[in-house]
Amino acid sequence: MLRIPFEEMEQTICRAFIKAGLPENTAATCARIHTESSCDGVFSHGLNRVERFVDYLHRGWINPQGKAQLQTSLAAWEIYDGEMGPGITNAIFAMNRATDLAKKNGMGMVSLRNTTHWMRGGTYGWQAAEKGMLAICFTNTETCMPPWGARSGAIGNNPFIMAVPAANGQHIVLDMAMSQYSYGKLQVKRLADQQLPYDGGFTTDGALTCDPASIEESRRILPTGLWKGSGMAILIDLMASLLSGGNHTAAIDRLEQGSCAACCQVFMAFDPLQITSSNFVKNAIQDTIQQIKSAMPAEEVTEILYPGEQSLRNRKENRQLGIPADASVWNRVIELAVI
Amino acid sequence: MLRIPFEEMEQTICRAFIKAGLPENTAATCARIHTESSCDGVFSHGLNRVERFVDYLHRGWINPQGKAQLQTSLAAWEIYDGEMGPGITNAIFAMNRATDLAKKNGMGMVSLRNTTHWMRGGTYGWQAAEKGMLAICFTNTETCMPPWGARSGAIGNNPFIMAVPAANGQHIVLDMAMSQYSYGKLQVKRLADQQLPYDGGFTTDGALTCDPASIEESRRILPTGLWKGSGMAILIDLMASLLSGGNHTAAIDRLEQGSCAACCQVFMAFDPLQITSSNFVKNAIQDTIQQIKSAMPAEEVTEILYPGEQSLRNRKENRQLGIPADASVWNRVIELAVI
């Protein structure tokens, strides 16, 4: 495993994106977000996703010039068409508008249709939290998971994000997809010849299993919380579609343009200081974290973490030591960046 | 198991609530909701919860005269204090305001602090859907579950609801708590001498188990989706508190006034027809349901259901045949209703 300095990774990815046809500003923003994701430990949507993004650009599945265009403006809610532009810049724009609307109205909401994969959903939770805003956002995706009770796929793993801003910058950010594990995680575990710590899907015979290869074979990945995550995936999909006037999962499937083609996303931001004080916010957060941290740890657990805490630790360590990178992935990105 | 006609159950519960001190209108509304919950098959928060609600009234933990009072009004967001009034009437009022605000602004949001247990959270999703609105709502609760990595409780099971309105009235409603099973479910299974179909918690030794009695003993109930439901419970709690200026879980615990004392709730409603057409809504829903229904069923599954579908089936059957009721529970409510 290599350790790549942040700036080196960012600049290399940026060159690859410019070479693939992204305008310079767009490339710089996307490169920063991919690098930040890897730096936070979310490798699947960081460096490891660069090649696939470039491939989508080459195939014409992402419009390098696409920019969110306003369709409808309501009191505290705006609806945009993403013109199939890069998911990252569309989503940053959308959350930025949501926080602007929240500054003005207490809460703000932006929905986005015909956009593309936003990569790590947590990015937009952190973005809002950095502005002192609470946030909720979600996206739909193509089909990648069986609904509860089925053995064949029919629903997306539709990520859902919630963020709470802490004055000290140690924001509390939940970033969860609706499958218990991602296919990326299964692959990592299989290649390392390891079992999953908890059941992650079914065998072809319908038995719950911790064996990643068996799940990759059956394609019967487990919804998080069994019927609950399956139900939530269905609701997130329909809400994203109906709140933006765009594609639901079945319609995304029919496009056959990879992951999250012309998908829908919803961004909400809330300004807590318009209804309460910064002291109130601080106390609620501190008290909650203290209550969680002072619970009795389970067997073999040394510390109980809150959502987002591990990302912060990774960020600190990887800024100092360099961002972990698989040598073959890194070399491939360097190739893509050669002018 | 008895079968009680809807009206008989509703009227009996209503008399019990009036006897316990609720004003007549409030009693009628609360009785209707408890009866509807049982009718939909959610017995835990229907008939079976009547005695506990009456007990809370006797203890002074619920203010029978309490009504939501406006604290702050923003563009499309209103914040209320619930005056410790009955959770049901406060929540109905709040979702009603949210749908009114949505009619006017496309989306509307109401948050409520110092309210009490709203019983079945799905009630308010159905309420919004009946008005053609999409909805999201959530509540925080007292501590009842260990966070992921802990063996002692520190977080609530904080229910989360999403609703999508279907023109045919067969709304899609997700109503999920953050534990995989409720303690009520564990009790039912233990009394029936049955194991849970899937792991529902840990033994005192930290092993995952399907045995309800072992989980009741350890109090280590499993968050839905393991670390994911644990994280979501933490975020729902903080969001509910910070968006209403009210108690977070640790503060609710300190009150020691039972379940959901002076808790916080958030209600959001969205009018899809302000950004798209009824035909668009209809097609997205039909296409999604068809895709789910046509997935290949898993072993021993005859039909794949969408969220809310089982409630609708129960409702239809129980309206015809009478609502199932445990004889001892029903007799106890009759006692409470004797003037």
End-to-end CA gap in chain A: 26
Residues 13 to 52 of A: which have CB under 8 A from any B CB?
none
Residue A333 lies in a domain: yes
Structure tokens at B50: 């009547």
Q: Which residues of A are designated catalytic?
A: 45
Evaluate if residue A208 carries a pLDDT over 90. yes
pLDDT tens string B138-175: 999 999 999 999 999 999 999 999 999 999 999 999 99
Give the global pTM: 0.98
Average pLDDT, chain B: 97
In a mutational test of the A interface, the residue from B241, B278, B301 whose CB has the highest number of chain A CBs within 10 Å is: B241
Residue A108 lies in a domain: yes
Distance of CA A255 to the CA centre of its chain: 22
Average pLDDT rounded to a whole number, residues A221-235: 98
Residue B211 lies in a domain: no
Residue A19 lies in a domain: yes
Confidence at residue A32, expressed as pLDDT on a 0 to 100 scale? 98
Confidence at residue B129, expressed as pLDDT on a 0 to 100 scale? 98
Residues A245 and A101 in one domain: yes
- Tell me whether B164 touches chain A (CB under 8 Å): yes
Residue A196 lies in a domain: no
Question: Alpha-carbon distance B113 to B116, whole Å?
Answer: 9
Share of chain B above pLDDT 70, in %: 100
pLDDT tens string A121-165: 999 999 999 999 999 999 999 999 999 999 999 999 999 999 999
Query: Quick one: which of A219, A146, A134, A212 has its CA closest to A178?
Result: A146
Residues of B in contact with A306 (CB under 8 A): 231, 234
Structure tokens at B254: 């300190």
Residues B44 and B175 in one domain: no
Asked whether A171 and A204 are in contact (CB, 8 A), the reply is: no
Residues B249 and B331 in one domain: no
In terms of DSSP H, where are the helices of chain B? Answer: 6-19, 24-39, 50-59, 87-105, 122-130, 183-191, 212-218, 227-242, 249-255, 278-293, 309-321, 327-337
Residues A162 and A301 in one domain: no
Instruction: Report the number of secondary-structure helices (H) and strands (E) in chain A.
Output: 12, 11
Residue A184 lies in a domain: no
**pLDDT tier, B318 (very low <50, low <70, confident <90, very high otherwise):** very high
Confidence at residue A116, expressed as pLDDT on a 0 to 100 scale? 98
Q: Do B248 and A295 touch (CB under 8 A)?
A: no
DSSP string, B116-159: ---S-THHHHHHHHHTT-EEEEEE-----BPPTTBSS--B----
Q: How many domains does chain A have?
A: 3
Looking at this protein, which amino acid is placed at residue A211? D
Residues of B in contact with A102 (CB under 8 A): none
Give A301→chain B minimum CA distance, Å: 6
- Tell me whether A176 touches chain B (CB under 8 Å): yes
Residues B144 and B260 in one domain: yes
How many C-beta neighbours within 10 Å does residue B219 have?
16
Residues B169 and B32 in one domain: no
Question: Alpha-carbon distance B87 to A15, whole Å?
Answer: 57
Q: Do A276 and B245 touch (CB under 8 A)?
A: yes
- Tell me whether A104 touches chain B (CB under 8 Å): yes
In terms of DSSP H, where are the helices of B219-326? Answer: 227-242, 249-255, 278-293, 309-321
Residues 299 to 338 of B: which have CB under 8 A from any A CB?
299, 301, 303-307
Residues B130 and B79 in one domain: yes
Give A247→chain B minimum CA distance, Å: 8
Question: Alpha-carbon distance B78 to A55, whole Å?
Answer: 47
Closest by Cβ to A234, choosing from B143, B152, B306: B306
Residues A117 and A143 in one domain: yes
Helical axes A24-39 vs A50-59, angle rounded to 10°: 150
Evaluate if residue A229 carries a pLDDT over 90. yes
Query: Quick one: which of A130, A270, A63 has its CA closest to B79?
Result: A270
Closest by Cβ to A75, choosing from B75, B164, B276: B75
In a mutational test of the A interface, the residue from B81, B292, B310 whose CB has the highest number of chain A CBs within 10 Å is: B292
Residues A160 and A119 in one domain: yes
Q: Kindly identify which residue of chain B lies nearest to residue A177, measuring between CA atoms.
A: B228
pLDDT tens string A5-47: 999 999 999 999 999 999 999 999 999 999 999 999 999 999 9
Confidence at residue A184, expressed as pLDDT on a 0 to 100 scale? 87
Average pLDDT rounded to a whole number, residues B289-316: 97
Residue A247 lies in a domain: yes
Residues A270 and A123 in one domain: yes
In a mutational test of the B interface, the residue from A77, A136, A227 whose CB has the highest number of chain B CBs within 10 Å is: A77
Residue B333 structural domain: 2-59+313-337
Q: Do A245 and B275 touch (CB under 8 A)?
A: yes
| CATH number of the domain to which A46 belongs | 1.10.1530.10
Question: Alpha-carbon distance A50 to A64, whole Å?
Answer: 15
Q: Do B248 and A162 touch (CB under 8 A)?
A: no
Residue B331 lies in a domain: yes
pLDDT tens string A284-309: 999 999 999 999 999 999 999 999 99
**pLDDT tier, B295 (very low <50, low <70, confident <90, very high otherwise):** very high
Confidence at residue A339, expressed as pLDDT on a 0 to 100 scale? 82
Average pLDDT rounded to a whole number, residues B219-248: 98
Average pLDDT, chain A: 97
pLDDT tens string A49-89: 999 999 999 999 999 999 999 999 999 999 999 999 999 99
Side-chain-side CA neighbours of A192 within 13 Å: the count stands at 9
Q: Is B45 labeled as catalytic in the residue annotation? A: yes
* ipTM tops 0.90: yes
Closest by Cβ to A292, choosing from B105, B147, B228: B147
Residues 185 to 244 of B: which have CB under 8 A from any A CB?
198, 202, 205-206, 208, 224-226, 228-229, 231-232, 234-239, 241-244
Output phi, psi for A21, to 5 deg: 115, 0
Q: Do A276 and B143 touch (CB under 8 A)?
A: no
Residues of A in contact with B287 (CB under 8 A): 248, 250-251
Residues A229 and A330 in one domain: no
Q: Do B304 and A164 touch (CB under 8 A)?
A: no
List, in order, residues 6 or more apart from A172 with CB less than 8 Å away: A129, A163, A164, A166, A285, A289, A306, A307, A308, B234, B235, B238
Evaluate if residue B336 carries a pLDDT over 90. yes
Asked whether A134 and A103 are in contact (CB, 8 A), the reply is: no
Residues A25 and A157 in one domain: no
Confidence at residue B339, expressed as pLDDT on a 0 to 100 scale? 82
Q: Do A298 and B251 touch (CB under 8 A)?
A: no
Evaluate if residue B188 carries a pLDDT over 90. no
Asked whether B70 and B58 are in contact (CB, 8 A), the reply is: no
pLDDT tens string A314-334: 999 999 999 999 999 999 999
Confidence at residue A133, expressed as pLDDT on a 0 to 100 scale? 98
Confidence at residue B184, expressed as pLDDT on a 0 to 100 scale? 87
Average pLDDT rounded to a whole number, residues A91-96: 98
Closest by Cβ to A74, choosing from B77, B274, B306: B274
Average pLDDT rounded to a whole number, residues B209-227: 98
Average pLDDT rounded to a whole number, residues B50-73: 98
CA distances from A170 to A285, A286, A305 (A): 10, 11, 12
| CATH number of the domain to which B159 belongs | 3.30.1370.60
